[in-house]
């Protein structure tokens, strides 16, 4: 289990570094983990899972920390799922299966996190839904390839 946690955390770190590099190359800002934390703390306080006007709501005291913690917990969750799929013989360690996993995993932000944060399914409530979905796909592809490599190295 320790190896799975290391892979999840390491993969998430690469994801975060890649977001900063991607921002420098394209001008597309990285994920706003404070808003994610605001959503999480709101849900924990009884707010609905599907938020609206999240950016306009007052900030919670520890929202940035909550957002980062959730981000890394989700990455470890993905690593657990990847390991389970390897044990079932569905995936193997390596970049190609990692890429397939990363591309498949983008359904989570497209159909859960984007709507939950008030941006609609497939980011339809954002100024540029196609760009938001494409960026999520790119980020998850990098995430998946990194995870596949991680399991090849450690797993």
Quote the DSSP letter at residue 110: I
In this structure, is residue 148 part of a structural domain? yes
Q: Is the pLDDT of residue 155 over 80?
A: no
pLDDT per residue over 116-134, tens digit each? Answer: 999 999 999 999 999 999 9
In this structure, is residue 17 part of a structural domain? yes
Q: How many CB atoms lie within 10 A of CB 123?
A: 23
In this structure, is residue 45 part of a structural domain? no
Taking residues 22-44, report their average pLDDT: 95
In this structure, is residue 106 part of a structural domain? yes
Dihedrals φ, ψ of 28, to 5°?
Answer: -75, 120
Taking residues 43-50, report their average pLDDT: 94
Taking residues 43-54, report their average pLDDT: 93
pLDDT at residue 55, as a whole number: 82
pLDDT at residue 53, as a whole number: 86
Taking residues 22-51, report their average pLDDT: 95
In this structure, is residue 142 part of a structural domain? yes
In this structure, is residue 58 part of a structural domain? no
Identify the domain containing residue 119 by its residue range.
2-31+76-153
pLDDT per residue over 96-106, tens digit each? Answer: 999 999 999 99
Is 7 within 8 Å of 25 (Cβ atoms)? Answer: no
Dihedral of CA atoms 103, 109, 111, 116 in degrees, nearest 10, equals 180
In this structure, is residue 23 part of a structural domain? yes
If you average pLDDT over every residue of the chain, what do you get? Answer: 96
Taking residues 64-78, report their average pLDDT: 98
Name the token pair of 29: 């800002």
pLDDT at residue 56, as a whole number: 87
Q: How many CB atoms lie within 10 A of CB 147?
A: 33
pLDDT at residue 1, as a whole number: 82
The total number of structural domains that make up the chain: 1
For residue 92, name the pLDDT band (cuts at 50, 70, 90). Answer: very high
pTM of this structure = 0.92
């Amino acid at each position: 289990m320790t190896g799975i946690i290391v892979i999840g955390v390491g993969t998430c770190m690469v994801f975060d570094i890649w977001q900063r590099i991607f921002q420098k190359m394209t001008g597309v800002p990285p994920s706003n983990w404070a808003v994610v934390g605001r959503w999480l703390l709101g849900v924990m306080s009884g707010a609905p899972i599907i938020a609206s006007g999240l950016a306009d709501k007052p900030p919670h005291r520890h929202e940035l920390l909550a957002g980062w913690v959730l981000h890394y917990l989700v990455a470890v969750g993905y690593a657990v799922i990847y390991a389970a799929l390897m044990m079932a013989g569905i995936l193997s360690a390596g970049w190609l299966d990692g890429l397939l996993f990363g591309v498949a995993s983008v359904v989570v932000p497209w159909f859960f996190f984007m709507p939950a944060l008030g941006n609609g399914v497939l980011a339809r409530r954002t100024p540029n839904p196609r760009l938001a979905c494409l960026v999520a796909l790119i980020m998850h592809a990098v995430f998946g390839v990194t995870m596949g490599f991680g399991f090849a190295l450690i797993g």
